[in-house]
Amino acid sequence: MDVNSEGLPMSREITITRIFDAPRELVYQAWTDPKHVAQWWGPHGFTAPVCEVDARPGGEIYIVMRAPNGMDHAMNGVFQEVVPLERLVFTNGPIDEKKQPEIDGLTIVTFAEHEGGKTKLTLQTRGTAKVDYAARFLQGMEMGWNQSLGCLAEFLART
């Protein structure tokens, strides 16, 4: 396994499964409608003042997350596969101020009907650091996605 100068792994892969108390159509829309995505994307306390989502093969995703301290964190990617109500596959990763990738990532999100009108969401994501310091970002990947999915659950409960 490749490691950076601090001995941290340069790549990481995680899978998270959640059951949302919302119909599959709504959960899918929450991932594909930029007005919805802007309401939940990012860890607790973050906002998404810029949120562009073109959920079609070849369409781009570009989100700027603003941390509670006011610092902006941009990410971008491209949708590779879009199967309405079932599956999204997109590249993703943080970019620096020159829009250069810091991490090459790929995320697969699947949506399945679950008993009682709920939705089972499975998120598989992997990332490889493109620069030494980005290996630290990978250490927080699971926590960040779990917090984002928690924000999604809160958004769905309000919707």
Name the region of 42 (left: φ>0; alpha: ψ -120 to 50; beta: rest). left
Residue 40: per-residue pLDDT:
98
Tell me: the pLDDT tens digits for 7-35? 889 999 999 999 999 999 999 999 999 99
List of the chain residues with pLDDT < 50: none
CB 103 within 8 A of CB 130: yes
Residue 121: which of 96, 95, 148, 143 has the closest Cα? 148
First to last CA, the chain: 43
The CATH H-level superfamily of 11-158 is: START domain (3.30.530.20)
CB 53 within 8 A of CB 79: no
Task: Give residue limits of the domains in the chain.
Answer: 11-158
